[in-house]
Structure 1
Amino acid sequence: MTRKCRGELYRNTSQGKLAGVCAGIADYFGWETWLVRILVVSGVLLGMGWFVVIYIAAWFILDKKPANAGHSKFKQGVHEQSQSSRQASGQQEAEDITQESIKVKSRIWQAGEPPKQAFHDIRRKFQTLERELQTIERYVTSPEFTVSREINKL
């Protein structure tokens, strides 16, 4: 059985309620955040007060989860030239949709989306990609592209 590399353990302050420790642990193990919170609160209520000490220590020891470096740049050429025909907000939304990852959970405690919701998200992603491909094809088959190509050959 191969073990999946989980990466670093961080505090996830964007999804956290207090300091993001439970959200970070949930991200690390691939669990739902609510499950980790219930386990911690249950432990404290059932007399395991050292959970509070561990939580506070983790708050100070763990680094905040770094923000994503941004979306990758699209290839130059046809796509860049067709950008002028799009609205900036619509394009940014399309980039966000195509860059997001979709995780499907197979068990209730795992992080991710139920299969039905994941199917709808994947369908939306493919529809966005289809519209983008149609825009590129429209530009490549236009006389504007032919003229630009001939000018670039000079």
Structure 2
Amino acid sequence: MRATDGRTLYRIPQQGKVAGVCAGIAEYFNLEAWLVRVITVSVFLLGGNSWVVLVYVVLWMILDVKPQTATTNEPRDIEVKRKVWQAGEPAKQALADVSRRFTSLEGRLRSLERHVTSDNYNLKREINNL
């Protein structure tokens, strides 16, 4: 299923408890997966027995499994949750992630500066200029 803004609704079995339908819906609407599961189970227990199971099974069969993205060293975007039910990281965790990234970048920059200012680098550059 495709939305107007280009997002696609998938099921995510790796994050799911049964088939990953609730996890896919949670990702699509930017909600926490536990909230979608609680709503689904609540509707099931409060009298929507047949149609909740039917909709879940139909979505299980219709929705494609989310394709695995190649894990690169590319940093992911940090999303801070503004409300309890939204997906994302708490503010403290997001700040810790940003701090960790800057520390890593600073270490790489120091290593680069150390290499560029070394005598060995200047000697290689002079040899290459000959």
Aligned to 2:27: 27
Map 1:97-108 → 2, pairs under 5 A:
99-108=75-84
> Within 1, Cα distance between the matches of 2:62 and 2:129?
59
Q: What SS does structure 2 have at the residue aligned with 1:99?
A: coil
**Highest Rg: 1 or 2?**
2
Deviations along 1:51-100, whole A, 9 cap, x unmatched? 111111111111111111332xxxxxxxxxxxxxxxxxxxxxxx4xx613
Where in structure 2 are there 5+ consecutive unaligned residues? none
Aligned to 2:45: 45
> Within 1, Cα distance between the matches of 2:33 and 2:113?
43
> Within 1, Cα distance between the matches of 2:27 and 2:95?
22
Q: Partner letter of residue 65 of structure 2?
A: K
Where in structure 1 are there 5+ consecutive unaligned residues? 72-94
> Within 2, Cα distance between the matches of 1:33 and 1:6?
21
Deviations along 1:108-132, whole A, 9 cap, x unmatched? 1000111122111111111111111
Of 118, 129, 145, 2:105 maps to 129
Runs of 4+ aligned structure 1 residues displaced above 4 Å come to 150-154
Map 1:57-68 → 2, pairs under 5 A:
57-68=58-69
Map 1:1-154 → 2, pairs under 5 A:
5=5, 7-49=7-49, 50-71=51-72, 95=73, 99-150=75-126
RMSD: 2.0
Instruction: Give the number of equivalent residue pairs.
Output: 126
Q: Percent identity at matched positions?
A: 51
Farther-moved stretch of structure 1 (29-38 vs 118-127): 118-127
Residues 1:44 and 1:152: Cα distance change in structure 2 (over 3 Å): farther
